[in-house]
């Protein structure tokens, strides 16, 4: 299989590329608790998907002096961009798809700038709020110098000029119901997954139980986006 002239490789079986998304001061307490629970499971490599200006609310913008920003820096984990405000003007999670290329470029650059000044870090890659985006955004992400862009099950590695693909993905939105039916077949076969943990999952659904089962019963390894791409 090839996409945009690039051969698509499959992520190694029994691999979970894991991230915690919606990293924002609005979820501060839940993020701290969720990180502690992930650590308790023995998961040390993961990606923090940071939304620089969640909901366009000033209180949710990262600033260098903020205690939460200092906490995120102290974790010394991979930081990647997860939208700018997370929402389009319509309220949709498809924040970038209806923007012109110029506007999308400007918004992504603004997001990088906020994280650079507020966290002292340049994000490694980009994962859109819905995990899916228009092909033009994949190109914009490359043009502004980020290492990778996720679009559905595909991970575009702009550094090594390749595309890798997971068998399925489980992205929770922190709701009580957790839909994993489409992923169950792949899980039993040991297929590679992307799993996006929402900060409130630990108190809303059974995602953490699933993570424990994948690790302890099915022998999956957990790794962040950057660490996986640099390991192959």
Domain regions of the chain by residue span: 2-231
Q: Which of 9, 21, 11 is nearest to 131 (CA)?
A: 21
Average pLDDT over residues 105-131: 95
pTM value? 0.94
At 87, the pLDDT band (50, 70, 90 cuts) reads: confident
* Range 2-231: architecture per CATH: Alpha-Beta Barrel (3.20)
How many whole angstroms separate alpha carbon 129 and alpha carbon 125? 13
pLDDT digits (tens, 9 = 90+) for 19-38: 999 999 999 999 999 999 99
Examine the pLDDT at 151 and tell me if it is beyond 70.
yes
How many Cβ atoms are within 10 Å of 47's Cβ, its own excluded?
A: 28
């Amino acid at each position: 299989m090839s996409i945009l002239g690039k051969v698509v490789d499959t992520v190694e079986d029994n691999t979970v590329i894991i991230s915690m998304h919606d990293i924002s001061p609005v979820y501060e307490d839940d993020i701290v608790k969720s990180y502690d629970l992930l650590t308790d499971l023995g998961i040390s490599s993961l990606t923090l998907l940071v939304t620089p200006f969640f909901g366009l609310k000033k209180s949710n913008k990262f600033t260098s002096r903020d205690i939460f920003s200092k906490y995120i820096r102290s974790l010394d984990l991979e930081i990647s961009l997860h939208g700018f405000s997370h929402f389009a003007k319509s309220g949709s999670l498809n924040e970038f798809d209806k923007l012109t290329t110029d506007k999308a470029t400007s918004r992504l650059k603004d997001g990088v700038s906020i994280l650079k000044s507020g966290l002292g870090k340049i994000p490694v890659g980009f994962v859109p709020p819905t995990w899916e985006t228009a092909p033009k955004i994949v190109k914009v992400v490359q043009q502004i110098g980020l290492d990778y862009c996720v679009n559905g099950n595909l991970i575009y590695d702009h550094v090594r000029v390749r595309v890798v693909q997971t068998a399925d993905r489980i992205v929770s939105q922190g709701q009580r119901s957790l839909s994993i039916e489409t992923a169950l077949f792949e899980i039993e076969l040991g297929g590679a997954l992307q799993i996006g943990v929402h900060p409130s999952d630990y108190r809303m659904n059974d995602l953490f139980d699933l993570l424990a089962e994948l690790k302890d019963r099915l022998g999956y390894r957990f790794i962040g986006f950057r660490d996986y791409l640099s390991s192959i």
